[in-house]
Amino acid sequence: MPGETPDKQDGAAVPGEALTSGAESAGGDARQPATTATGDAAAEVATQEAVSGNPGDATAPVVEAKPYSLPSFGEGDATPAREAVDLLSDVELNVSIELGRTQMLVDDVLRLGEGSVVELDKLAGDPVDVYVNDRLVARGEVLVLNDNFCVRVSEIVDADVHD
């Protein structure tokens, strides 16, 4: 690495530190850390101690953090997303409203006729289920508007709920 000088005594250099000889240092120590490009040597030793978990342990590897830049997503321009939705705007979907369910024997189904009453598992006033392409997406209440049945959506079902 740039800035590393092998020690004359054992030939090994500590990564991230530049070493000076005993003649160059004032303290007379043959392996004294000098200031590096990343900061003060004492800070690097403290970092090494924190990484290794042992105070005074300057032999642990130095972990260098590199800055990470996030990609730019524009200035809130929703035009591409809107265009993608517009491409799907003319796709037909099957929407069905389920008032309730029941189980019947084949014999009972064969006896059904005009005026027969089939009891369902929901009470009057209970919310009905709204399915889009056989997937439950909402619940709502049944209304009559201009002699037509309608459903007022009162709850959107979470995407991870499956019936």
Domain boundaries, the chain: 1-7+14-21+30-63, 93-156
**Residue type for 43, please?**
A
pLDDT band at 94 (very low <50, low <70, confident <90, very high): very high
How far is it, in rounded angstroms, from Cα 64 to Cα 20? Answer: 22
pLDDT, one tens digit per residue, over 19-50 is: 444 444 444 444 544 444 445 555 555 555 55
**What pLDDT, on a 0 to 100 scale, did the predictor assign at position 75?**
61
**What pLDDT, on a 0 to 100 scale, did the predictor assign at position 59?**
65
Q: Please tell me the CATH superfamily of domain 93-156, with its number.
A: SpoA-like (2.30.330.10)
Is-contact 75 64, C-beta < 8 A?
A: no
DSSP SS3 for 118:
coil
Residue 83 corresponds to which tokens in the numbers above? 């265009």
Is-contact 16 1, C-beta < 8 A?
A: yes
CB atoms within 10 A of CB 45: 18
**Residue type for 14, please?**
V
pLDDT band at 52 (very low <50, low <70, confident <90, very high): low
pLDDT, one tens digit per residue, over 143-162 is: 999 999 999 999 999 877 55
User: In percent, how much of the chain has pLDDT > 90?
Assistant: 36
pLDDT, one tens digit per residue, over 106-136 is: 999 999 999 999 999 988 889 999 999 999 9
pLDDT, one tens digit per residue, over 64-90 is: 888 887 777 666 555 677 777 788 888
**What pLDDT, on a 0 to 100 scale, did the predictor assign at position 140?**
95
How many CA atoms lie within 13 Å of 127's alpha carbon, on the beta-carbon side?
14
**What pLDDT, on a 0 to 100 scale, did the predictor assign at position 80?**
73
| Whole-prediction pTM | 0.45
Whether the pLDDT of residue 57 is over 90: the answer is no
Residue 137 corresponds to which tokens in the numbers above? 């997406």
145: β partners: 148
Closest by Cα among 143, 144, 138 to 158: 138
DSSP SS3 for 163:
coil
How far is it, in rounded angstroms, from Cα 143 to Cα 131? Answer: 17
